[in-house]
Amino acid sequence: MARRVTSSMQQASISEFFEKNKHFLGFDTLPRSIITAVKESVDNSLDAAEEHRILPEISVEIHKVHGKKDRLRLITQDNGPGIPQKSISKVFGSLLFGSRFHTIRQTRGQQGIGITGVVMYSQLTTGKPTLVVSKIAKEAGAIRVNVGLDTKKNKAIISNEKRFAPEEENPAKGLHWVGEHGLRIETQMKAKYQRGRQSVHQYLKMTSIVNPHASIKFQAFDEEGNILDDASWPRVTEQLPRPVQEIKPHPHGLEIGTLQRLLRDAKIPSEGGGARTPLRYFLRDTFSSMSNARCDQVINIAGLDSTRKPSSLKPDEITELLASFAQVKLPSPPTDCLSPIEDLLIKKGLSKAIDSRFVSTVTREPQVTNGNPFQIEVGLIFGGDMPADQPIQVLRFANRVPLMYQQGGCLLTKALESVDWKRYGLDHPGGRGIPKGPAAVLIHLASTNVQFTSEAKEALADNVDVFDEIRKAMLEVGRGLRNHLKKQKQKAKAQEKFELVNIILPEIHDKAIAILDAEPVPLAPVITKIMNAVFLEEKVEWDKEEKVTKASVEVFNYTARPRAYTILSTWPEREGVTMVENHLGGRREAKGLWAWKLETLDPGSSTTVTFSVGGLSKGDWTEIDVFFRGAGDIIGATKIDEEILAEMLREEEEEMASNQEVLADEEKDVETDNDTTPIDEEIESVEQQDTDDGNTDWFGLEGE
């Protein structure tokens, strides 16, 4: 009996598994299937273009197949680098094939499943292969090939392979020229096209918001070829996302099984410093943030000898080594593996897609959870034509990819719901659920290791560190909204009062002196006494001649006594952006916040703070938040919260201290490091030569 059971057992391939469990990949309903297919293709196009420093041009077409119910033909095309002929079968025909699974850096694709999953679903539901046309810049012709999938072997089935030149273009035969370089994918599948919040149109619209450097076009056609949908989202910036660098794993994110594997597979040079201290060499070479001093400290705490070979460690010793990492203060891993959108481009992206009166954004400093760097960005847009009696729009993103489903079970949504939005001007009955109001909130997680709740990658799993960072970002944009609404209300009330006084009082004055036949009297002191307020007006405008953004803050003292204030204004402090003109000088109060101490303002007088910012393009920076210190309120400004300011300074100081500590360790290692030997340098030279010889990451995501 046991033999019969055992003999009937057989191993299923990864392709067979997902063929029977296609819902894991997002192909669980017909409307969702087409969105998933578009998502995988577009994500691949964006990643490939960015990695090769190409501004993406992407087009998406959906055609209803004539005479076939619930069958669609999807065509996507890009101007990316293309895929080499010999790699097409691997990229489109092998699940879990890619270059990202073992790398630690921010990417849209992570597992190598996506685009092959589309090929598999197409074949499963229509029996047809997927047409791929690829053109690489250095090659004269393009390659056209049909790709199917052998799910038993997890291997591509290639047919109708042909290389052709531009003059041979023949769409009827599937010969579509894609320009100097690029990729075209054409596939059929069982799916249903629909409009609304969960649609291809909405997905591409959301994608354009967090990818403002991309130009995206979309068209949908019915069975007769009539246009059902026609939309485009042109790029609003020529600035490509910051290139991301691969980093080593951080010791604080290790699990025992991973450490065992790394120790077992460790390669130590047979000569030089590495041969003398194999264990220390292993720690320094394998992990980030590990200087020689820290390696020795970890080894000593674990009670080990640095001359031990990594593969010789016993289970108990490995456990001690893992525990010793937690007892040593280690700097956070490098954050150049992340590429956030950044607040200026978030504003541009939101403003091009949603009409509004106010936008508040924040890009938090990078943080670490379980040894994995991550960064939170939040944008809040308010007003315009959004309905005031409906729940606000929640736009969720992970590594610049929209999350369209499972909103309620997503960590990003839970963090938003944890905030009492009533305090910030939105309707939030009972302080639970999604608040109501004419607003939309964008939440973006950039991370080297996004933890999803499923393979479909539609919702983020719970994580305390990420939750806390999102909540802090929410509170920050919430304060921005509250200040905006307060200022608008104050300004409207003061403006109404000011206009009434300036219209009615002069008329009363003129009639009174006419009746009394008296001399006119100065009205300014009287108006000042009636107004009894300090008023502020700010303005930001682009100077096309000087190519700078100019800001001004004017303060009016409409009170009967002198006033003294310190004015604080936000500005886009970042690398490459500088204050090119600042007559009053002032001082840097915190990152992105500048302060000026004003001369005493006499009753009825005013003063103006002006400054210019260089390093930006037109439209990059359009508004400022103004705060103040001093007695009494200023209509149009917010009194600075010293506790929040102190927290900002504390975070900045901690970041600087951490950076200085890393630099000190690096300098110390330069002086004392005996591990760098001629043989090590030779190894590094060979590795660099491999890279220079063209070991290029052609398919640095789940496909292209």
Name the band, by pLDDT with cuts 50, 70 and 90, for residue 144.
very high
Of the spans 147-151, 222-226, 685-689, which averages the highest pLDDT?
222-226
pLDDT in tens, 33-55: 899 899 889 988 998 999 899 99
**Can you give the pLDDT at residue 703?**
37
Under 8 Å between Cβ of 300 and 336 = no
At 193-207, the pLDDT tens digits run 988 888 999 999 999
DSSP E strand stretches across 486-547: 533-543
Task: Give the pLDDT of residue 688.
Answer: 42
- Model pLDDT, residue 486: 83
What does the pLDDT look like over 266-282, one tens digit per residue?
888 877 667 778 888 88
| Length of the chain, in residues | 704
CB atoms within 10 A of CB 475: 18
Residue 510 has pLDDT above 70, yes or no: yes
Residues in a beta bridge with 227? 221
pLDDT given at position 60: 96
Fold agreement between 14-233 and 251-332: no
Fold topology of 522-640: Immunoglobulin-like (2.60.40)
Query: CA 325 to CA 444: how far, in whole Å?
Result: 31
List the single range of 229-243, 504-518, 560-574, 650-664 with lowest mean pLDDT. 650-664
Beta bridge partners of 182: 135
**Quick check: 367 pLDDT over 50?**
yes
pLDDT > 70? residue 259: yes
Paired tokens of 411? 């960590």
pLDDT digits (tens, 9 = 90+) for 3-21: 554 444 444 444 455 455 5
The pLDDT assigned to 493 comes to 76
Q: Who wins on pLDDT, 156 or 24?
A: 156
Q: Given phi > 0 = left and psi -120 to 50 = alpha, else beta, which region is 136? A: beta
More reliable by pLDDT, 656 or 132: 132
pTM, 2 dp: 0.73
What pLDDT is attached to residue 498? 73
**Percent of the chain residues past pLDDT 90, beyond the cut:** 31
Sheet harboring 155-164: ordered strands across?
155-164, 142-150, 130-135, 182-190, 71-78, 57-64, 215-221, 227-233
Assigned CATH class of 343-482: alpha beta
Which of 35-44, 465-474, 512-521 comes out lowest in average pLDDT? 512-521
Q: Which two tokens stand for residue 155?
A: 């291997």
Q: 375: pLDDT confidence band, cut at 50, 70 and 90?
A: very high
Distance of CA 180 to the CA centre of its chain: 29
**DSSP strand E in 519-577: where?**
533-543, 548-558, 566-570
pLDDT at 662: 59
Residue identified by tokens 């951080």 is 250
Average of per-residue pLDDT values in the chain: 82
- Domain spans in the chain, listed from the N-terminal domain onward: 14-233, 251-332, 343-482, 522-640
Tell me if 541 sits within 8 A of 612, measured CB to CB.
no
Q: Which residue's structure tokens are 């040593």?
A: 328
pLDDT tens digits, residue range 624-669?
889 999 888 888 888 888 888 888 788 777 777 766 665 666 555 5
For range 131-159, the mean pLDDT: 88
The CA R_g of the chain, rounded to the nearest whole Å, is 31
Structure tokens at 518: 């008296």
Task: For residue 284, give the DSSP letter.
Answer: H
CATH number of 14-233: 3.30.565.10
Least confident of 16-20, 234-238, 477-481, 649-653: 16-20
List the CATH code of the domain at 251-332.
1.10.8.50
Does the pLDDT at position 670 exceed 60? no
Q: How confident is the model at residue 543 (pLDDT cuts 50, 70, 90)?
A: very high
Tokens linked to 133: 């046309």
Q: Over the stretch 329-365, which tens digit does the pLDDT of each residue have?
A: 888 788 788 888 887 778 777 776 676 678 888 888 8
* CB contact at 8 A, 400 and 457: no
Average pLDDT for 525-546 = 84
Distances (CA, A) of 242 to 51, 420, 586: 10, 35, 32
- How high is the pLDDT of residue 598? 92
CA distance 561 to 141: 80
Q: What is the C-alpha separation between 621 and 624, in angstroms, rounded?
A: 8
The token pair at 301 is 């705490």
What pLDDT score was predicted for residue 26?
Answer: 61
**Greatest mean pLDDT among 238-247, 357-366, 460-469, 493-502:** 460-469
pLDDT in tens, 90-131: 888 666 544 444 467 777 654 445 788 888 888 888 889 999
- The pLDDT, as a whole number, for residue 23 is 53
Question: What SS3 state is found at 487?
Answer: helix
